[in-house]
């Protein structure tokens, strides 16, 4: 409803300004501070003052007089407060918000008939997912969810780097060493924990072994890479044996978040189908291409990039960047838009990619990056190769353990007599524990650096997932108590919706809550445009504050409540439930029915 109200206000204001012969290019529309009763305001009078030859408050009065609120649907009155114009919401605004929000898909925007591929995570299949990269699947999954709610047709891709030198090293190590050569046991009973030991062993050997041993290894690694470049089935199968096993394990870890993918796109695909060769030929033809030191490169200095892009090594093999160009042209063929979630260390490459795609004749308007900075340990970076870092599995386990302990501690002084059984405790521990990890990461701007500390990452206090989840559980508790199904659309249930006069919800707490609910679709819209899921997290906090205010002030099911008011408040609770459930669902945080 907020979007409709904003459109109406813009129209009315523009009309009034035009009628007064004022310029209409800047309407100065803004959201007023909390202590102001209006839903939207305008500071346009400041700008018009000199032109009008009158002080701003007087101009504001003039403009307000020009607008007839009776002709507006969602605005009941236009008032001035000093230089500001305030647009007050009408009963229709509240009534329509209430009726819209009781639908279980509230917050879902109309279908845009536009497809978008969200590529995220895409971690090299070298070993267990560690916390340093954990921002990627968490932000990426939220961005994909957000775009789905915003009306896009979304596919989620994991781009598998199976053709790089690292994988050749891994394959060589896997084939060369035996279990008995390894110094340690797997840290966990899953494939990537088992195999990463070969990768680490291989890297240690390459760094420390005698020269002739390293040379022999390098020759083998080189032959694997040449085999891949030639599209050789045997090389592909050797590498795949490692890649598929490790990736399978990593996928299981990511499913715990949960972060799931529609497709795992391997980069070897673009070598084997000839796209990379074609692309290399086209790159060579560009004016920017140069052949220096036996390698083919692109000189992008005229396009503001100092660093050359090497696209063919002196040994004739392609590079990650080369294949990624082919990969992106494929994305452009298949989708209207493409979003990639990347670590900030890939920023320069992202610029090179975009520039080069343009040189190749692609329209890159639909290509956007979401950049985040890595999570580091107090003592430095996490690295799979060196085995430094905190595994995401361990973080999730610890989160669940701490959440379980929290649930058990609270069991004794629990008022509600719904008797949580062991399954409930386990369910809540998972929902809260994993939810807290995700919420902590997704609620911050991705560009801010994070240093990992256990206690900070696993803080269940307010402004965290449990705070918001608790509001959801409270909503469900009330609805269930009233005999309603919290999950379902209220319209499909046995409730007298026609009795929902908005003036039954007259207290400030109810109005504030409804106003917040009304803004949800607009928040989805803007967060989707900006690719910033943390805006949704900020909204959930504001929403939870408002709901708790309502909860304190307005009993729903208590004995003394007028039956009509009770119905209206139940509808408000149902609207709240769908709002918070859907907001949490965008963030990928579970919404518990009880906790």
Partner RNA sequence: GGGCGCGUAGCUCAGUCCGGAAAGAGCGUCGGACUUCUAAUCCGACGGUCGUGGGUUCAAAUCCCAUCGCGCCCGCCA
Q: Considering beta carbons, is residue 7 or 186 the nearer one to RNA?
A: 7
Binds RNA (CB under 7 A): choice among 18, 462, 491, 506: 462
Among 293, 302, 412, 494, binds RNA (CB under 7 A): 293
The answer to whether the beta carbons of residues 315 and 322 sit under 8 Å apart is no
Closest separation in Å from C-beta 154 to RNA: 22
Interactions with RNA, residue window 215-254 (CB under 7 A): none
Round to whole Å and give the CA distance between 34 and 78.
17
For the chain, how are helix, strand and coil distributed in percent, rounded to 5? Answer: 55, 10, 30
> Encoding tokens for residue 325?
């160009």
Q: Minimum distance between the CB of residue 294 and RNA, rounded to whole angstroms? A: 4
- Contacting residue, 177, 264, 320, 330, with RNA by CB under 7 A: 320
Considering the complex, what minimum distance in angstroms separates the CB of residue 81 from RNA?
A: 4
- Binding to RNA, residues 477-506 (CB under 7 A): 477-478, 481
The least CB distance from residue 69 to RNA, in Å, is: 16
Tell me the per-residue interface mask from 398 to 427 with RNA, x by CB under 7 A, - otherwise. -----x--xx--x--xxxx-----------
Q: How far is the CB of 296 from RNA (least distance, A)?
A: 9
- Kindly report the CA angle at 169 between 163 and 173, in degrees rounded to 5? 135
Coil vs helix vs strand at 375: strand
Q: Within 13 A of 334's CA, how many CA atoms are on the CB side? A: 16
Q: Report the DSSP beta bridge partners of residue 84.
A: 81
Question: At closest approach, how far in Å is the CB of 30 from RNA?
Answer: 6
Figure out which of the listed residues 52, 290, 310, 499 binds RNA, where binding follows CB under 7 A: 310
Transcribe 53-88 into DSSP letters.
TS-HHHHHHHHHHH--GGG-SSEEEEEEETTEEEEE
Q: How far is the CB of 332 from RNA (least distance, A)?
A: 21
**x-marked contacts with RNA along 526-565 as a string, rule CB under 7 A:** x---x-x-xx--x--x--xx--xx-xx-xxxxx-------
Of the candidate spans 65-73, 195-203, 475-483, 489-497, the one that interacts with RNA by CB under 7 A turns out to be 475-483
Coil, helix or strand at residue 487:
coil
Shortest approach of RNA to residue 178 CB, angstroms? 26
Least distance in angstroms from the C-beta of 179 to RNA: 27
Closest by alpha carbon to 8, among 68, 67, 72?
72
Instruction: Give the CA radius of gyration of the chain.
Output: 29
Q: How far is the CB of 345 from RNA (least distance, A)?
A: 3
**Rounded CA separation 356/9 (Å):** 44
Query: Which tokens belong to 518?
Result: 């009304």
Please report whether residue 319 would count as binding RNA according to CB under 7 A: yes
Footprint (CB under 7 A) of RNA, residues 128-167: 161, 164-166
Near RNA in 338-357, by CB under 7 A: 344-349
Count of residues in contact with RNA, rule CB under 7 A: 95
Nearer to RNA, 344 or 397 (CB): 344
Smaller CB distance to RNA: residue 188 or 303? 303
Nearer to RNA, 70 or 417 (CB): 417
Phi-psi region of 19 (alpha: psi -120 to 50; beta: other; left: phi over 0): alpha
Tell whether residue 386 is a contact of RNA (CB under 7 A): no
Cα torsion at 471, 473, 477, 479 (round to 10°)?
A: 70
Q: How far is the CB of 199 from RNA (least distance, A)?
A: 13
Return the number of the residue (236 or 460) whose C-beta is nearest RNA.
460
**What is the 3-class SS of 444-506, one letter each residue?**
CCCCCCEECCHHHHCCCCCCCHHHHHHHHHHHHHHHHHCCCCCCCCHHHCCCCHHHCCHHHCC
Which residues, 163 to 202, sit near RNA by CB under 7 A? 164-166
Secondary structure of residue 539 in the 3-state scheme: helix
By CB under 7 A, residue 444 contacts RNA: yes
Within 10 angstroms of residue 232's Cβ, the number of other Cβ atoms is 16
CB of 358 to RNA, least distance (A): 18
Is residue 127 a contact point for RNA (CB under 7 A)? Answer: no
Residues 62-81 that bind RNA (CB under 7 A): 81
Q: How far is CA 513 from the centre of its chain?
A: 25
Q: How do 115-119 and 84-89 pair as beta strands?
A: unpaired
SS3 of 390, please? coil
Residues 6+ apart with CB under 8 A from 33: none
**Interatomic CA distance for residues 89 and 87, integer angstroms:** 7
Under the binding rule (CB under 7 A), the answer on residue 383 touching RNA is: no
Among the candidate windows 5-13, 459-467, 495-503, 515-523, which touches RNA by CB under 7 A?
Answer: 459-467
Instruction: Tell me which DSSP letter residue 374 carries.
Output: P
Name the residue nearer to RNA (CB basis): 373 or 585.
373
Q: Which of 84, 93, 149, 193 binds RNA (CB under 7 A)?
A: 84
Binding mask 11-40 for RNA (x = CB under 7 A): -----------------x-x-xx--x-x--
Q: Which residue in 217, 228, 253, 428 binds RNA (CB under 7 A)? A: 428
Question: Counting contacts by CB under 7 A, is residue 507 touching RNA?
Answer: no
CA atoms of 1 and 519, how far apart (whole Å)? 7
Q: Does 513 bind RNA (CB under 7 A)?
A: no
Q: What is the Cβ-side half-sphere exposure of residue 552, based on CA atoms within 13 angstroms?
A: 8
């Amino acid at each position: 409803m907020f979007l409709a109200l904003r459109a109406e206000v813009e129209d009315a204001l523009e009309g009034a300004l035009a009628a007064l012969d004022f310029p209409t290019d800047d309407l100065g529309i803004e959201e007023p501070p909390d202590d102001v009763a209006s839903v939207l305001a305008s500071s346009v009078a400041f700008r018009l003052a000199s032109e009008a030859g009158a002080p701003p408050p007087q101009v504001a009065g003039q403009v307000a007089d020009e607008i007839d609120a009776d002709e507006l649907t969602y605005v009941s009155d236009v008032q001035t407060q000093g230089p500001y114009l305030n647009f007050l919401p009408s009963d229709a605004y509240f009534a329509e918000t209430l009726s819209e929000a009781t639908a279980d898909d509230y917050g879902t925007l109309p279908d845009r008939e536009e497809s978008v591929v969200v590529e995220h995570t895409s971690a090299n299949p070298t070993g267990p997912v560690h916390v340093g990269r954990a921002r990627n699947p968490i932000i990426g999954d939220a961005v994909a969810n957000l775009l789905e709610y915003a009306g896009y047709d979304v596919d989620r891709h994991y781009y598998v780097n199976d053709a790089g030198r690292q994988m050749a090293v891994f394959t060589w190590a896997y084939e060369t060493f035996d279990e008995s050569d390894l110094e340690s046991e797997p840290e966990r009973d899953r494939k990537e924990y088992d195999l990463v030991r070969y990768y680490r062993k291989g890297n240690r050997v390459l760094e420390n072994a005698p020269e002739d041993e390293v040379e022999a290894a390098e020759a083998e690694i080189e032959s694997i890479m040449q085999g891949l470049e030639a599209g050789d089935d045997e090389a592909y199968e050797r590498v795949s044996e490692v890649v598929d096993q490790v990736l399978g394990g990593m996928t299981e870890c990511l499913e715990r978040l949960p972060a799931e993918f529609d497709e795992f796109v391997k980069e070897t695909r673009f070598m084997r189908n000839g796209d990379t060769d074609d692309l290399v030929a086209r790159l060579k033809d560009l004016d920017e291409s140069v052949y220096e030191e036996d390698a083919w490169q692109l000189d992008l200095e005229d396009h503001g990039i100092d660093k050359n892009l090497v696209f063919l090594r002196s040994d004739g093999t392609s590079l990650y960047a080369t294949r990624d160009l082919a990969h992106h042209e494929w994305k452009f063929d298949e989708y209207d838009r493409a979003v990639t979630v990347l670590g900030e260390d890939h920023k320069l490459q992202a610029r090179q990619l975009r520039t080069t795609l343009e040189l190749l004749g692609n329209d890159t308007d639909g290509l956007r990056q979401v950049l985040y900075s890595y999570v580091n340990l107090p003592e430095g970076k996490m690295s799979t190769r060196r085995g430094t870092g905190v595994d995401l599995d361990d973080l999730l386990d610890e989160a669940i353990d701490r959440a379980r302990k929290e649930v058990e501690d609270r069991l004794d002084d629990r008022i509600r007599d719904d008797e949580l059984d062991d399954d409930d405790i386990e369910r809540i521990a998972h929902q809260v524990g994993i939810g807290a990890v995700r919420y902590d990461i997704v609620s911050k701007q991705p560009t801010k650096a994070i240093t990992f500390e256990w206690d900070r990452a696993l803080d269940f206090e307010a402004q965290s997932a449990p705070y918001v989840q608790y509001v959801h559980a409270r909503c469900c508790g009330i609805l269930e108590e009233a005999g309603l199904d919290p999950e379902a659309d209220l319209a499909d249930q046995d409730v007298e919706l026609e009795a929902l006069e908005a003036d039954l919800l007259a207290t400030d707490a109810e109005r504030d809550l409804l106003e917040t609910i009304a803004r949800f679709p607009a928040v989805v819209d803007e967060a989707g445009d900006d690719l910033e899921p943390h805006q949704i997290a900020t909204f959930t906090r504001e929403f939870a504050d408002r709901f708790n205010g309502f909860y304190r002030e307005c009993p729903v099911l208590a004995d003394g409540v007028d039956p009509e008011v009770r119905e209206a408040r139940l509808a408000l609770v149902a609207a709240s439930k769908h709002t918070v459930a859907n907001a949490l669902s965008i963030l990928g945080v579970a919404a518990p029915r009880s906790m």
